[in-house]
């Protein structure tokens, strides 16, 4: 498999075409962003940590029967993914009150939700990824009723697997963001990444083992992500 031309450059990844039109070569970058890209920093080693963590999580999801874009890890910073048309939604699942949910409803962070809540945000840098509901998703022609139902049930299924993975290494998945994409035949599969960049992970002491250390300036991102990776590797 050879890497060809750059197809897309996002905030944290570069996507290249390969000899196979259904497969992309993905390189994780060191850039960290907050406030929807308004704050940007290069953090050496971050791309490698997220690539390795995402690879371990997606391998586990694949083995548990979740259909994902992940094919294999190529190096510390690279992986092969099936090519999909990304659905322009950030699907967020919340197990515990935190972040924008706490802010929106004027709640303290930390209460466990009686039932996990799934939310949709419209992926649009220009609009700052607004919070939208099922009817907006339909109105914008992003997904049908059946597809919306699938996105929600698949996200809950993924949550039950993630809860097992993270609890084995002493972490609570407080909330996380997923992205899905369509294969050429329309099948929807899980795409993008699952890492401390896209998930809130709290340890037993309530410490933040995720990107909030960068967003809130409360710790060293590399040492926190390294600890997460080392624990995942040890539990493999």
Binding site for ligand C5P (CB under 6 A): 90, 92, 98-101, 129, 175-177, 198-200, 211
Q: Provide, rounded to whole angstroms, the least separation between the CB of residue 211 and ligand C5P.
A: 6
To ligand C5P, the closest distance from the beta carbon of 173 in angstroms equals 9
Contact 229, 49 (CB under 8 A): yes
- Please, what's the largest Cα pairwise distance for the chain? 51
| Least spacing, CB of residue 121 vs ligand C5P, in Å | 7
Q: How many CB atoms lie within 10 A of CB 120?
A: 22
What's the full length of the chain, in residues? 236
- Closest CB to ligand C5P among residues 90, 154: 90
Under a CB-based contact definition with an 8 Å cutoff, are residues 141 and 87 in contact?
no
Q: How far is CA 206 from the centre of its chain?
A: 21
Instruction: Tell which residue, 22, 163, 183, has the closest CA to residue 94.
Output: 163
- Residue 35 or 234: the one with the smaller Cβ distance to ligand C5P is 35
Q: Which is nearer to ligand C5P, 196 or 232 (CB)?
A: 196
- Dist. CA 211–CA 217, nearest whole Å: 10
Give the pairing type, strands 23-28 and 78-82.
antiparallel
Looking at the Cβ atoms of 3 and 227, the one nearer to ligand C5P is: 227
Cβ–Cβ < 8 Å for 171, 157: no
Q: Which is nearer to ligand C5P, 9 or 184 (CB)?
A: 9
How far apart are alpha carbons 163 and 18 in whole angstroms? 34
- Least Å distance between CB 104 and ligand C5P? 9
Answer for the pair 225, 46: CB distance below 8 angstroms, yes or no. yes
- Nearest distance in Å: CB 3, ligand C5P: 26
| Identity of the residue, 14 or 211, whose beta carbon is nearer to ligand C5P in the bound complex | 211
Question: Alpha-carbon distance 160 to 146, whole Å?
Answer: 21
Shortest distance, position 185 Cβ to ligand C5P, whole Å: 28
């Amino acid at each position: 498999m050879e890497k060809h031309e750059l197809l897309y450059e996002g905030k944290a990844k570069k996507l290249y075409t390969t000899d196979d039109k259904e497969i992309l070569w993905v390189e994780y970058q060191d850039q960290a962003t907050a406030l929807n890209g308004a704050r940007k920093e290069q953090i050496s080693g971050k791309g490698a940590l997220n690539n390795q963590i995402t690879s371990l999580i997606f391998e586990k999801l694949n083995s548990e029967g979740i259909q994902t874009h992940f094919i294999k890890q190529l190096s510390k910073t690279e992986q092969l993914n099936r090519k999909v048309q990304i659905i322009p939604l950030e699907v967020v699942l919340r197990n515990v009150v935190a972040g924008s949910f706490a802010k929106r409803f004027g709640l303290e962070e930390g209460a466990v939700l009686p039932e996990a809540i799934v939310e949709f945000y419209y992926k649009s840098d220009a609009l700052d990824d607004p919070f939208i509901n099922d009817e907006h998703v339909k109105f914008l022609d992003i997904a049908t009723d059946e597809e919306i139902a699938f996105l929600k049930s698949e996200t809950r299924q993924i949550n039950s697997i993630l809860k097992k993975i993270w609890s084995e290494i002493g972490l609570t998945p407080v909330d996380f963001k997923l992205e899905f994409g369509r294969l050429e035949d329309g099948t929807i599969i899980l795409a993008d990444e699952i890492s401390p960049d896209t998930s809130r992970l709290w340890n037993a002491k309530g410490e933040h083992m995720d990107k909030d250390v960068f967003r809130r300036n409360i710790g060293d991102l590399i040492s926190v992500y390294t600890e997460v990776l080392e624990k995942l590797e040890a539990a493999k």
